[in-house]
Amino acid sequence: MTDLFDRIEINGMVLRNRSMRSATWTGLAAENGGCTTKLIKRMEQLAKGEVGLIMTGFAYVMPNGQAMPRQLGIHNNAMMPDLKKLTKRVHAANGKIAMQIVHAGVQTMMSERKDAPVWGPTAVQDKLFGWTPKAMTQREIKETVQAFARAAGRVKRAGFDAVQLHGAHGYLISQFLSPFRNKRTDRYGGSIENRARFLFETYRAIRKTVGRNFPVMIKLNTKDFVRGGLQERDTLFVAKRLDKMGIDAVEMSGGLPASGNLGPARAKIRKESDEAYFLPLAKKIKKQVSAPIILVGGVRSLPAVNHILEAGAADMVSMARPLIREPGLVKRWRGGDRKKAKCISCNQCFGVAMTPTGVYCVPDRRAKRKKKK
């Protein structure tokens, strides 16, 4: 039977166990998107904590694709020297690291974008972010496809072990996939095959750039969990098509910022039955896709992890918030301390990521300060 501490190989990338640190914005990059010493240390901590595969926070592929302040960038060659330092440090700690790449589309918090157009598939206002995007022309779509491909090439040259496309959570690829945002009437809108065309073109361009022997992964929504959004049948079509095209692994997530309590990072995970909230839909995908499936979403306990793996419902499990509080969680579990993750799913870590200190676990830091007193 498969458990968390079994090795797995993904297109030649051998991982020491089946855990993954899911991509999480940390607010630890430089203002220009550069990789900082703080960010390197955070990734190194995860490697020393024996996380099987570390996924960086999403890195923007074009300047107008930046979502958040102090977000990692992979949009030009100036980023390369410090990114090479990052991969060397992680590898020296016996870790494996991949980079997630993204274009934010309309989901940007960069207020200085007021003088530059915000792009999206169609000019549908986003009430949460306050933008009405410019509907991208087919020329701009092709420009963005090539930006993703060039970014993936930089990822490979910087020494990363894999690249992951962010196709979930309402960012640009997700916006094209979802009828909630995509109202186009040309070859990039309408049917799911048309709505997925931007993604498929992007994947082909990336694969052409990095070659067949470099792992290319994707994060997809199981569903958008909003009225008029991406549905399970759409995701199944996309996952099956990407599988035939040669995708190396699919991370299953779900939800948008507009999904409320059904978003990607749900609160109040108090018992094992609250965990792995995307599991039912991911299991359906797993049955029809040969590429490894990685499940994210509320995983907190080793029994839940091993149940998922033993049942063959997924090939790996991915965590974000628990590894913010405990970068050494996987190592703790392997060492015999099998108590569940200390993360209480309060989501306060995301708020402090907006501050100059970057992301950290607020309850953990508060408790340590009290202990010192």
Overall residue count recorded for the chain in this entry: 373
Q: Does the pLDDT at position 115 exceed 60?
A: no
In this structure, what token pair is assigned to residue 270?
Answer: 């108090």
Residue-wise pLDDT tens digits, 13-48: 999 999 999 999 999 999 999 999 999 999 999 999
26 and 359 Cβ atoms separated by less than 8 Å: yes
Lowest mean pLDDT among 55-59, 157-161, 214-218, 352-356: 352-356
* 127 — pLDDT class (breaks 50, 70, 90): confident
Q: What percent of the chain has pLDDT over 70?
A: 98
Is position 337 within any domain? yes
Active site residue 171: yes
Lowest mean pLDDT among 6-10, 33-37, 258-262: 258-262
**CATH number for the domain harbouring residue 87:** 3.20.20.70
Is position 96 within any domain? yes
Which residue from 258, 259, 239 is spatially nearest to 249, judged by alpha carbons? Answer: 239
pLDDT of residue 76: 96
Is position 3 within any domain? no
pLDDT of residue 333: 98
Q: What percent of the chain has pLDDT over 90?
A: 88
pLDDT of residue 330: 98
Residue type at 275? E
* Rounded Cα distance, 148 and 165, in Å: 9
Is position 1 within any domain? no
pLDDT of residue 48: 98
Lowest mean pLDDT among 4-8, 92-96, 267-271, 329-333: 267-271
pLDDT of residue 112: 59
Q: What rounded mean pLDDT belongs to the chain?
A: 95
pLDDT of residue 182: 97
Residue in the structure block whose two tokens are 């703080």: 38
Residue-wise pLDDT tens digits, 54-100: 999 999 999 999 999 999 999 999 999 999 999 999 999 999 999 99
| Alpha helices, DSSP H, located in 317-361 | 321-325, 329-334, 348-352
131 and 106 Cβ atoms separated by less than 8 Å: yes
- Compute, in degrees rounded to 10, the torsion defined by CA atoms 164, 196, 176, 251: -30
Residue-wise pLDDT tens digits, 154-167: 999 999 999 999 99
Is position 108 within any domain? yes
Q: Does the pLDDT at position 373 exceed 80?
A: no
Is position 227 within any domain? yes
Residue type at 84? K
Considering the candidates 60, 171, 188, 277, report the single residue annotated as catalytic.
Answer: 171
pLDDT of residue 351: 87
* Helices and strands (DSSP H and E) totals, the chain: 13, 13
Residue-wise pLDDT tens digits, 288-323: 999 999 999 999 999 999 999 999 999 999 999 999
* 113 — pLDDT class (breaks 50, 70, 90): low
In this structure, what token pair is assigned to residue 27?
Answer: 């607010």
Over range 167-182, report the average pLDDT.
97
Is position 184 within any domain? yes
Which residue segment(s) compose the domain that 264 sits in? 8-372
* Rounded Cα distance, 277 and 2, in Å: 21
Q: Does the pLDDT at position 111 exceed 90?
A: no
pLDDT of residue 268: 87
Residue in the structure block whose two tokens are 């999904």: 259
Angle, helices 138-157 vs 80-92, to 10°: value is 50
| Alpha helices, DSSP H, located in the chain | 37-48, 80-92, 138-157, 172-177, 192-195, 197-210, 232-245, 279-288, 302-310, 321-325, 329-334, 348-352, 362-372
Pairing of strands 119-120, 97-102: unpaired
Q: Does the pLDDT at position 372 exceed 80?
A: no
Higher pLDDT, 112 or 307: 307
128 and 257 Cβ atoms separated by less than 8 Å: yes
DSSP 277: T
Handedness of CA 167, 66, 80, 92 (dihedral sign): negative
Residue in the structure block whose two tokens are 């049955």: 287
Taking the model in full, what pTM does it have? Answer: 0.96
Is position 71 within any domain? yes
Higher pLDDT, 277 or 369: 277
* Rounded Cα distance, 6 and 18, in Å: 6
* 1 — pLDDT class (breaks 50, 70, 90): confident
The residues, ordered by sequence, that sit 6+ positions from 221 with a Cβ below 8 Å of its Cβ are: 167, 168, 169, 174, 177, 178, 230, 235, 253, 254, 255, 256
pLDDT of residue 222: 94
**Burial (0-12, 13-18, 19+ Cβ within 10 Å), 322:** buried
Domains of the chain: total: 1
63 and 104 Cβ atoms separated by less than 8 Å: no
* Rounded Cα distance, 145 and 308, in Å: 35
pLDDT of residue 117: 83
| Alpha helices, DSSP H, located in 2-112 | 37-48, 80-92
Mark residue 133 as left, alpha or beta (left: phi above 0; alpha: psi -120 to 50; beta: remaining).
beta
